[in-house]
Amino acid sequence: MDIKLKDFEGPLDLLLHLVSKYEMDIYDVPIVEVIEQYLAYISTLQAMRLEVAGEYMVMASQLMLIKSRKLLPKVVEETPLEEDPEQELLSQLEEYQRYKELSQELAAQHDIRARFFSKPKQELIYEDAELSHDKTTLDLYLAFSKVMAAKQEEIKNSHTTIERD
C-alpha cells in the first residue's frame, strides 16, 4: 500500500479521486461503479486492520442507500417524498471540487507573498509615555492561548512518525 487514507481530506476527496479517473463530467459518471470502488477500497483498508475515520463509514452507508435504491424499480409517486440522494451527492462532489481547486490557487498566491520577508515592529519606549489601562485579564488569557495554540501546531507538525511495513 503506497497510498493511505491520510492522503485524502475525507470521503468526498476519495470519491472525487475515484470519479476523476473517468475523465468526464461528474454528472455523467457511472455512479454505481464508483460506489462499488469506494466500498471495495474501504473494505480493503478494513481487512488490513487500518483505522478508518468515522466519516468514511457514514459516506459508505449513504452510498449503500443510493445503490440499493437504484436497484429497486421506480415507484411513480404524485409528489416525490424526498430529494434524490444521488443528485445531492453529485452536487456536493462538484462543490467540494471547486473549493479544492480554489485552495490550490490560494496556496499559489500565498507562495508569491511568502517570498518577501520583514522584521517585527520595533517596540519604542519613552519616559513620558502613559499606560492606557485598556487591557483586561481576558486579553492576557487570550493572548497567551493564541501563542500556545500556534506553538502546539508547530510542534505537532515537526514530529516524525515511523510507519510499520
- Interface residue list for other proteins (CB under 8 A): 1-3, 7, 9-13, 17-18, 20-21, 23, 41, 44, 53, 55, 59, 92, 94-107, 109-122, 124, 146, 149-150, 153, 157
Instruction: Kindly tell me which of 121 and 133 has the beta carbon lying closer to other proteins.
Output: 121
Give, as one character, the DSSP assignment of residue 7. Answer: G
Q: Would you say 66 and 33 are in contact if contact means Cβ atoms under 8 Å apart?
A: no
Quote the least distance from Cβ 57 to other proteins, whole Å: 12
Q: How far is the CB of 75 from other proteins (least distance, A)?
A: 29
- Taking the complex as a whole, the smallest distance from the CB of residue 45 to other proteins amounts, in Å, to 11
- What is the rounded distance in angstroms from the CA atom of residue 112 to the CA atom of residue 91? 32
DSSP codes joined into one string, 79-99 = S-SS--HHHHHHHHHHHHHHH
